[in-house]
Amino acid sequence: MAVAAGRYAAIHRGSPVQSVGQFTHRQPGVDQRATFSSSDPPMLLCETAAKRSTGKGLAGQARETRMVFRRARRKAGPIGRGPTAGCFAVFRLTTILVAIRVGAAPVAPAHAGSAGGPAAFMADWLLATLLGLAVVAGLLLALVVLWRRERRSRLTAQRLAELFAERERMAHDLPVGLHEVIDDGSGVLQFRYISDRALALFGVSRKPVMADFYRVFDHLHPQDRERVIAANEQARAEKKPVLIEGRFVVDGRQRWLRIESWPQERAHATIWPGCTLDVTDQHEAESGFRVLFEQSPLAIMVHDVETGEVLDGNRASWETYGLDSLEALQQRDLWADPPYSRSEALALIRRAAAGQVQRFEWCSINAQGQPFWELVTLMPVVLKGRLRVFSTATEITELRDAEQRLRDSERLLTRMSELAAVGGWSLDVRSGELRWTEQTFRLHHLPLDTNLSVTDALSFYHPEDRPILERALKRAREHGEPWELTLRITTAQGKKRVVRTMCRPIEQDGRVVRLVGAIQEVTDLVEAERRFRAIFEQSPVAILVQDAATGEVVDANRNAWRIYGFDSFQAFRDAAADGRLGMGSGRQSGLKKMRDMVARGGDRIEWPSRHADGHVLWFDVTLTPIELAGRSCVLAVCLDITQRREAEQRLRDSEDRFRRILQDVDGVSVQGYGPDGRVHYWNRASEELYGYTEAEARESNLLDLIIPPEMREEVRAGLQQMAEGEDLPNGEMELMRKDGSRVPVYSSHTVLRRPGAAPELFCIDIDLSERKAHEEALDRMAHYDPLTGLPNRRLMSALIEELMARMDRQQSGFALCYLDLDDFKPINDRHGHDVGDQVLVAIAERLRRLVRGSDLVSRLGGDEFVLVLEGIGDGPELERKLSFILDGVVQPIAVAGLQVRVQASIGVTLYPRDSGDPDTLLRHADQAMYRAKALGRHQYSLFDTEIEAHVQRRRERLVEIETGLDERQFQLYYQPKMDLVTGEAVGFEALVRWHHPVYGMLSPLAFLHALERTELEQRFGEYIIDQALGQMAAWHDSGQELPVSVNISGPHLLTEGFVDMLARLLERHRRVAAGQLALEIVESAAVADLDRAVRVLGEVRKLGIQTSLDDFGTGYSSLRHLRSLPVDEVKIDQSFVRDMLTDLNDYTIVQSVISLADAFGLRVVAEGIETEEHAASLLRLGCKLGQGYVFARPMPADAVLDWLAAQLSSTSS
């Protein structure tokens, strides 16, 4: 039994037992060893063991034996429990029994005999046998227990190995490298674990890194090494999370890596689990954003929210202020320039930071001290976790000054995006068990102990994305297809996120057994890419990215391939690859230029290319070298300048033609001058006009050649304005000839400005000498009586109007006298018209002598004269003056040997007691003259104005008109304008009629005079135009496009807002083309305020509306100002047309007006055509348009289409 015990101890504790028959028992300071043979009987073994004891006796031996097994049991650990405990109990009991037996029966020699000798021997032998069997049974039981434990250990180790292998596979398939570092407090860091993916990212091997932590930085870029290692040491020393980015160069390729690690405290050490990400794409995207940021033509800045300080800005930002660096811009206080204050600016910045985008105009002062205006936009932006304010500014100085529009500017926004944390997941295909890492749970805002099925996981995905993910999972399970998707999720907290998830199937025996993958939030990255792409696609210029080595088009915005005439990017890319966009210089030549540009770091060139249809395109190209996904590329920002180049070429061609043509043009004097007035060009017509030869004029100065002394300062100032970029006005002037005489010319000025050259002034002078003489003759014919040379009715009306204005300013008045000869008709009848004409001439001359030089005398026609006595009112002075005139007229006249005597009757009205226009005053004086005749010949009579009654009647009439407008009592009638050649209607004139509820149909004469110079006049005019446009729209709907002209009063035309009113009515009636409407204005109204009339009529024409000068020839300054008024046609007043067949003067005036209008390129319309003879005569004179009763009377709108149909029918028949 002792042998068995010693063998067991040797097996389980590694005791130095050398053989089966040896038992070793160790005590401190004692080495007792007993050796037995296998043939010794058990009793003898025990005996011998007892004899070789230390002398402590049997009891001591038993105690020692028990101590041995107690120590063995303690050292055996778990083996001393359970079945093993039973084995030791049997072993222990056997030993005790042996000891008792030995102690109770002293050993006797084998050959000694005694009474109990054989029986005792047998008993001892039986006991020893039983005890031996018990020992064997115990040993067998112990072996069974040991075998079971070893088998369980092997199974456990196998399971652990499988789990470790699975973990390694998951780590290998993740896009990040995993690692774990331990710091035991000794200051030496050591990897406990590092994944294959991490080793690949760092470019190192496992063995050296596991031995030396710092070998992980072997491939760190030299420029980043000191920074990265210092940041790592500092974070680990302070036991703070590690977040470091640096460049690693592995296999010749540079990559950006982000290293993240988090401290976890243990009992005697600090553990740093972490991961490493490849963020090269993110840095390249940021680099691309920065390039666009710097290349933007907009001034872009980033400001501190609290102080407004400039934290960053592109080149355009500091160049806008005339500065040479960003540092200079940051040193400048941008928000303190007058007229604004810093507090105003900071208020705008804070509102922008609060989420309210601010757009405003701001006045700044550049480095040269000059103010300029900017359109500024402020918006909030978060950069590197800090709230900032992002500003864009566009200079709008020239736009505010209305000199020219700003060029289109593009706005380019850039935002940095940060990668979110990466989570992992695995799916057991057979069991359907889904496992998530902690980061995946955090990404979904779920507790870490949440149990999820695949269905639960799919429920987080957007309904539109869920089928995509389901199909991808199915393909991965069934066909082993890996995938990578960007999808939308809604977290458990309801937050919307965009994630990028990937899957890698794991196969076993040719079948997919597990899916492993990673998930990463890319919300910010996707949003940044979307915004960048939106800016890229919506840019008004073409943007391309080309491979610098091959010229391949890597990317292009929509505007790029549309400019080239392609309907897709692929078609554009194929054309570029085939060389169809080039200009024949050769692909290799183009690539060489691109490589040279990359070597220079960028360039800006003008580049020809070819459209899809073959025509040439020109671009202003800004080339910038960039790197995308490890390949060298070129960013090309292309501005289409084809039209500008073509315009420049046309300008050069035009200049050449201009110079060649004008050199030989007769009657058109052309000169070219530099900004200093030196003559550069002098054609032959200039030689003839001014008397200087080209040789004499060249290199002389304009001021010394043809400018009169009184104009030289004005011309010198004009040259200075030209040099400063302003244009010079055109106009009439008198210039000097070589002989000192003066010549009237109309001088048109054109300033040619070319890049890099001084401005050049071209003057085109037209000799107005003949035209001036002709105009003066026409003017005299139109305004003076050809018989007596006195002003006629038209001129007299204008002179009276001027006198009325002057008397109003001087607070004075005048007497208007209407004189009619009482006995003139008998003279004509008795002596003939020649004698009568001589009498009229004599009376006219006599009347001139009877009045003062400041008074006016006019012949209205026949034997009627008008005298205007300035500064005379009612009283004795007026009576004396009138009597003096009557006495002077009655004196005999010697004519053709005859003594002729005539008498006169005079009607008088006094201004301002009698108010009204000149025609009203003349009418009142005429009425007074008839009362004088009624009183008896050779008398005068004063007109009773009845002012109060007149004002009251006008006020009542205005109330009626206003009511008529409210009740739409006014209706338009339409009289056709006819083509005198074809007999067809070419348009209609709208004439207003009043359906008065009491008096029936009223013509304009019954109410228009009451509207003059009242506020109601504007409303009435707008009503008429609106009615006309509405009727034109109705005709348009019925298929008829009928031009219509509308009469507008002068005061209404010159009111503020007239053009806006027209634009509003055109917008209301969009179906009517603006060119179909014409506005007619009487000549006298146009020249009342000429400058304003010219401006308003010009704005009317810009709307596309036609303009017409009505009653032409009846105004005082009609011929003088016809050239200045922007009108399309003139209408000859019916007073000339009506009598043109019987009155030679009227015929001559009509002929002159037609010729003058033709010279100015204006249409002519004759009014008041009443007979076919009138129409034929007008046509012979060159007037092709007319209207009058001979064609049709004014008709209501519902009769126009029927009339047109009848006209068409009669014409075709």
Q: How many CB atoms lie within 10 A of CB 646?
A: 12
Looking at domain 774-945, which of 3.30.70.270, 3.10.50.40, 3.40.47.10, 1.10.287.70 is its CATH number? Answer: 3.30.70.270
Q: Work out whether strand 177-183 and strand 242-250 pair parallel, antiparallel, or are unpaired.
A: unpaired
- pLDDT tens-digit series, residues 945-993: 564 455 467 778 999 999 999 999 999 999 999 999 999 999 999 999 9
Confidence bin at 780 (pLDDT 50/70/90): confident
- pLDDT tens-digit series, residues 140-176: 888 888 888 787 777 777 776 666 666 666 656 667 8
In 3D, which of 528, 502, 532, 497 has the Cα closest to residue 515? 502
Category of 595 on φ-ψ map: left (φ > 0), alpha (ψ -120 to 50) or beta: alpha
Instruction: Look at residue 415 in the predicted model and tell me its pLDDT.
Output: 34
DSSP 176: S
> Domain 297-400 belongs to what topology?
Beta-Lactamase (3.30.450)
In 3D, which of 551, 550, 603, 542 has the Cα closest to residue 569? 542
Tell me which CATH code domain 174-278 carries.
Answer: 3.30.450.20
> CA 15, CA 7: separation in Å to the nearest integer?
9
> CA 1187, CA 980: separation in Å to the nearest integer?
9
> CA 1148, CA 86: separation in Å to the nearest integer?
153
2-13 vs 117-173: helix crossing angle, rounded to 10? 10
Q: What is the full DSSP assignment across 76-95? A: HGGGGSTHHHHHHHHHHHHH
Q: Work out whether strand 1185-1186 and strand 1163-1166 pair parallel, antiparallel, or are unpaired.
A: parallel
In 3D, which of 285, 1032, 250, 1146 has the Cα closest to residue 781? 1146
Q: Work out whether strand 970-979 and strand 985-996 pair parallel, antiparallel, or are unpaired.
A: antiparallel
Sign of CA dihedral 1009, 1010, 1013, 1015: negative
Q: 83 pLDDT exceeds 90?
A: no
- pLDDT tens-digit series, residues 1059-1103: 999 999 999 999 999 999 999 998 666 666 778 888 999 999 999
Instruction: Look at residue 742 in the predicted model and tell me its pLDDT.
Output: 92
The residues that bridge with 275 in the sheet, in sequence order, are 178, 260
- What distance lies between CA 636 and its chain's CA centroid? 21
Contact (CB, 8 A) for 193 and 209: no
Q: 995 pLDDT exceeds 90?
A: yes
> CA 24, CA 34: separation in Å to the nearest integer?
7
Q: 1116 pLDDT exceeds 60?
A: no
In 3D, which of 822, 847, 690 has the Cα closest to residue 763? 690
Contact (CB, 8 A) for 1114 and 1135: yes
- pLDDT tens-digit series, residues 1117-1142: 455 566 778 899 999 988 899 999 99
Tell me which CATH code domain 539-640 carries.
Answer: 3.30.450.20
Instruction: Look at residue 59 in the predicted model and tell me its pLDDT.
Output: 43
Q: What is the full DSSP assignment across 382-437? A: EETTEEEEEEEEEE-HHHHTTS-PPPP----------PPPEEEEEEETTT--EEE-
Domains 422-521 and 951-1212 share a fold: no
The mean predicted confidence, pLDDT, of the chain is 80
Question: pLDDT > 70: what percent of the chain?
Answer: 81
- pLDDT tens-digit series, residues 856-904: 999 998 899 999 999 988 888 999 999 999 999 999 999 888 899 999 9
The CATH class given to the 422-521 domain equals alpha beta
The arithmetic mean of pLDDT across residues 43-57, rounded, is 36
> Domain 951-1212 belongs to what topology?
TIM Barrel (3.20.20)
| Minimum mean pLDDT range among 365-369, 570-574, 911-915 | 365-369
> CA 683, CA 672: separation in Å to the nearest integer?
9
Residue corresponding to tokens 């006797």: 108
The residues that bridge with 1106 in the sheet, in sequence order, are 1078
- pLDDT tens-digit series, residues 1173-1185: 999 999 999 999 9
> CA 682, CA 697: separation in Å to the nearest integer?
7
Instruction: Look at residue 1170 in the predicted model and tell me its pLDDT.
Output: 92
The arithmetic mean of pLDDT across residues 54-67, rounded, is 44
Q: Which residue has the higher pLDDT, 587 or 815?
A: 815
> CA 746, CA 763: separation in Å to the nearest integer?
10
Domain residue ranges of the chain, discontinuous segments joined by +: 2-107+118-148, 174-278, 297-400, 422-521, 539-640, 652-767, 774-945, 951-1212
Sign of CA dihedral 95, 100, 103, 106: negative
Highest mean pLDDT among 343-352, 886-895, 1049-1058: 886-895
Q: 1212 pLDDT exceeds 70?
A: no
Question: Which two three-digit tokens encode residue 349?
Answer: 């910045």
Instruction: Look at residue 417 in the predicted model and tell me its pLDDT.
Output: 30
Q: 305 pLDDT exceeds 70?
A: yes
| 3-class secondary structure, 780 | helix
Helix (H) / strand (E) containing 998: none
Residues 6+ apart with CB under 8 A from 221: 246, 247, 248, 249, 254
42-51 vs 2-13: helix crossing angle, rounded to 10? 70
Instruction: For 931, list phi and psi in degrees, rounded to 5.
Output: -65, -35
Q: Which residue has the higher pLDDT, 699 or 240?
A: 240
Q: What is the full DSSP assignment across 257-285? A: EEEEE--EE-SS-EEEEEEEEE-HHHHHH
* Amino acid, res. 1071: R
Question: Which two three-digit tokens encode residue 834?
Answer: 């020649």
- pLDDT tens-digit series, residues 24-41: 334 444 344 333 333 333
Residues 6+ apart with CB under 8 A from 212: none
> CA 683, CA 700: separation in Å to the nearest integer?
15
In 3D, which of 65, 56, 127, 64 has the Cα closest to residue 95? 65
- What distance lies between CA 1124 and its chain's CA centroid? 40
Tell me which CATH code domain 652-767 carries.
Answer: 3.30.450.20
- pLDDT tens-digit series, residues 480-536: 899 998 899 999 999 888 888 999 999 888 889 999 998 888 877 777 767 766 767
* Amino acid, res. 1064: R
pTM beyond 0.75, yes or no: no
Highest mean pLDDT among 66-80, 606-620, 1012-1026: 1012-1026
